[in-house]
Amino acid sequence: MSQTSAFRDLTPSFFFLLLAATIGPLLFGYHLAELNEPQEVITCAAAKSTATTNGFVAAARAANAGPFPQCIPMSSLEFGLVTSFFTLGGLIGALSGGPITTKYGRLISMIVAAILAAIGPVFEALATNLTLFIIGRFIAGLGAGAATVIVPIYISEIAPPHQKGLFGAATQVMINVGILITQLLGLFLSKGQLWRIILGVGGGIAALQAVALFMAGQESPKWLADNGKPARAKRVLRKIRGHEANIDEEVSGWGLESERDMEDEEETLLANEDHMHDHPADSEGAHPDVGQDGQGDDQSKTAQAGNAAKRGAETLGFLAVLQNADVRPAVIAVVTVMVAQQLCGINSIVMYGVSLLSDLLEANAALLNVLVAALNVIVTTSAAPLVDKLGRKTCLLISIAGMGINSVLLAIGIMKSISILSAIAVLLFVASFGLGLGPVPFILSSELVGAEAVGATQSWALAANWIATFIVAQFFPIVNEKLGKGQVYFIFAAFALVFGAFTAWWVPETLGKRDAEEVWGRKKDRSRED
């Protein structure tokens, strides 16, 4: 099927849900980069650099005389604290997002994450001191961290079976869109008190997402099926796929009956319910019609559906996935790939690329930031179909290899002050990330494990990702300064070599596989119970 035909067969309902859900990852990217451009303005460094000490103090007092100070004086250590509290909130949100989405469903979890993401920026935009700023960043991090766990699972469960890779890439695409939006706003609003608008816009976007999901959101049909609501799951899936689509194969992939069998079961349940109302005396004893006219078979089918729902509810918790011999290899695979996403060095460019390269390239720092963010969006979007054509593992290996090679070239370019080599290496480095290491990690957890473990596995993966993000954000400037400009990229190249070898050896291909049993080569009827 061509991509054009595939898109033509998708419904407006699906695209609405995809867009509404992926606003969560967009906000993650937005908050990740929102302080880059206005940093000097927010911390009063811009005013201080253009005035004498006495003049700066007098100007700061005058500017801060109103209800909202023009800037909040911060040292480098204090600004690092503001940055790290977003990461801390994200880590806690990621750890809690998996269990919450498993127990209460994807839709409610996304709404809660959106509300948190709307509240945090209110504190940021109206902050009058460092404490309020930190509180806002922490709350925004809670919402962003939860969203990065929940949304990839949700997309995997509403996307057409043969296009999960294509639409799974939407998570990384929207993270990059969020980075691009905040960089564009930073071009024009990094002055005076306009920086508060940059922070407030993130809250406005989150509020719109919460309203959209509350008014017109749909629960994941797979989650409904796994939690004993097969008839409702079918109705939701029918709405997402369209009334002309054949959903029998997808429904059977959940381990349920075909669509027609589900309709028969629903009619039987309703008929039994009506009959019990007509014969209340029979409700406590054996049904008088059991064994007649096939009624016993219908009740047997109903009992089987109940047992299936009970099994679906037996989800694996955060620690249980590590103790389960079948799930543990998947947790190791997903966590390692998520760590690779950060330790191969992408955020060294996203967060620090301007200060790293502005001297070499002699370009406007803010404009360079925007161009890098735009390239990331373009490459990730255009490369998304390759995940479903070449395979997840192939795209990962190509991506990691590309980042490793260009890390070496970038190190040489910076050390030798070769501006053209540095510029080309940065562009190819970002392009390599968008090809595989950007989108694929968010897809893997929903494909390497069964429904009972996907929430906890995603929490482990995103927790590891947030920790790795913190490590790069906190220590890159220090290591880069200690080693000498550019040499840190040899370390990133070494990480790429290690993670590439691990991926080739450990991570299985999931393209074209129906479930985790087939991915790992296990027998379908293998017992999981002690």
Which domains are assigned to the chain? 8-254 (1.20.1250.20), 320-522 (1.20.1250.20)
3-state secondary structure of 28: helix
Tokens representing 74?
């911060």
Is the sign of the CA dihedral 187, 188, 194, 200 positive or negative? negative
Those residues whose C-beta lies under 8 Å from the C-beta of residue 393, and which sit 6 or more positions away, are: 503, 507, 508, 509, 510
What digits encode the pLDDT tens for the residues 10-62? 889 999 999 999 999 999 999 988 887 788 888 887 665 555 445 545 544 54
Per the structure block, which two tokens stand in for 476? 């890159």
CA gap 469, 84 in Å, rounded: 10
Cβ neighbours around 464 below 10 Å, total: 23
Helix (H, G, I), strand (E, B) or coil at 416: coil
Using a 10 angstrom Cβ sphere, with 0-12 exposed, 13-18 middle and 19 or more buried, the burial of residue 520 is middle
How crowded is the C-beta side of 137, counted as CA atoms within 13 Å? 22
Reading phi first (left if > 0) and then psi (alpha if -120 to 50, else beta), residue 44 is in: left
Q: Which of 218-222, 224-228, 310-314, 440-444 has the highest mean pLDDT?
A: 218-222
| pLDDT for the residue 296 | 47
Confidence at 115, pLDDT banded by 50, 70, 90: very high
Distance, C-alpha 120 to centroid of its chain: 19
Are residues 71 and 43 in contact, defined by beta-carbon separation less than 8 angstroms?
Answer: yes
Label residue 277 exposed, middle or buried (CB < 10 Å: 0-12, 13-18, 19+). Answer: exposed
67-71, 106-110, 376-380 — which one is most confidently predicted on average?
106-110
Confidence tier at 287 by pLDDT (50, 70, 90): very low
pLDDT for residue 362: 58
> Nearest Cα to 181, choosing from 362, 317, 347, 370?
370
Question: What are the structure tokens assigned to 206, written together?
Answer: 């989150």
The H or E element that residue 321 is part of is: helix 320-323
Token pair of 213 as six digits: 């999901």
Which pLDDT score, from 0 to 100, does residue 154 have?
93
Mean pLDDT of the chain: 80
CB 395 within 8 A of CB 387: yes
Residue that the structure tokens 């080739």 belong to: 504
Amino acid found at 264 = D
Asked if 425 contacts 413 with a C-beta cutoff of 8 angstroms, the reply is: yes
